[in-house]
Amino acid sequence: METLASGFKGPADFCVIPQAKGYLVVVPDLVQSELRMIQLAR
């Protein structure tokens, strides 16, 4: 197992969006009122 992101204070449901070169994972952090976007390559 490999940690891809950390430091979330209050993560909520996430969304995975397929893209040409991989996937974009969007995770809302409710406590910090921000969206975290993580690009994953294929």
Q: What is the mean pLDDT of the chain?
A: 89
Give 8-20 pLDDT, tens digit per residue.
887 778 899 999 9
pLDDT at residue 4 tops 90: no
Tokens 């996937």 found at: 23
Phi, psi of 22 (to 5 degrees): 155, -135
pLDDT at residue 3 tops 80: yes
pLDDT-based confidence at residue 21 (cuts at 50, 70, 90): very high
Phi, psi of 21 (to 5 degrees): -110, 15
- pLDDT over 70, % of the chain: 100
